[in-house]
Each structure stands twice: as C-alpha cells, then as structure tokens.
Amino acid sequence: MKRNPAIPYIFIMLLGIVLVFFLSVKGLGDAKEIAKDNKKGDAKTEAPAGQTGGKFDPESFAKTTCISCHGNNLEGNVGPNLHGIGKKISKDEIKNVLKNGKNGGMPAGLVPAENIDAMADWLSKLK
C-alpha cells in the first residue's frame, strides 16, 4: 500500500497554524502585562539622540546621527571629513549648512534648531 505524499505537508501546515495561534494568544497576554507595567510608571524613556542628562551633547549626537554619512570617526565617507572643518569655513557657514543643508548631500534640519549653535561650536573646534 502506498502512502499519500501530501500527508507530511498537511501535518506541517496544521502544526504551523496551531503554533501561530498559540503565539498570538501568548503575545496578547504579554501585551497586557507590558501595558500594566507602563501604567505603573516603571517604563524607562530613552533620551533623544545627543541628550545626556537633559543637556545637548554634540559629540554623542554626532556619534548617533552623523556617522552614517561622515564615517565612524567623522573622517569622511559619503560626506566630507569634519575634522578641521572650522579652519576651512566659518562658524556661521557651519550653522547655515546645519540649518539649511547643502545641495546634493547634507539634509536640512538634521540638527534641532535649538542645538545648532552648540553643534556648530563643537564642529568648528573638532581637530
């Protein structure tokens, strides 16, 4: 007597459906537990990029935001090398680029407006 070749596939399909159902129910239970924890106020909020202790930190902002274009050490990748940029252009020009972006590369508004002065100052002193 020959076995039907579709039986293993049907068994695996049924096992998958049962597993998906079980994990869905488990996830709903976990979601309710997480919601209870958040109501208690135990949830920790993560500080925005560049914020340490409630104060803007240009170096940590650069490490989280700028490295994608300027490289890990801001030595240049897709974007230019930022070391010594204060010797090439003025602090006001750096502020302008941070605020308005630059054609073909630097996007506008990447640095929050209230932190542009601190970021420009840090970049102009970067050696």
Structure tokens at 64: 């989280």
CB atoms under 10 Å from CB of 69, counted, come to 17
Distance CA 80, CA 97 (A): 13
List, in sequence order, every residue forming a beta bridge with 56; answer none if it has no partner. Answer: 51
Report whether 70 belongs to an annotated binding site.
yes
How many Å is the maximal CA-CA distance in the chain?
87
Q: Give DSSP secondary structure letters for 67-120.
A: HHHH-TTSS-SSSPP-TTHHHHS-HHHHHHHHHH--TTSPPTT-S-GGGHHHHH
The answer to whether 1 is annotated as binding is no
Q: Which residue type occupies 31?
A: A
Binding site residues, as ranges?
A: 66, 69-70, 106
Binding site residues for heme c, as ranges?
A: 66, 69-70, 106
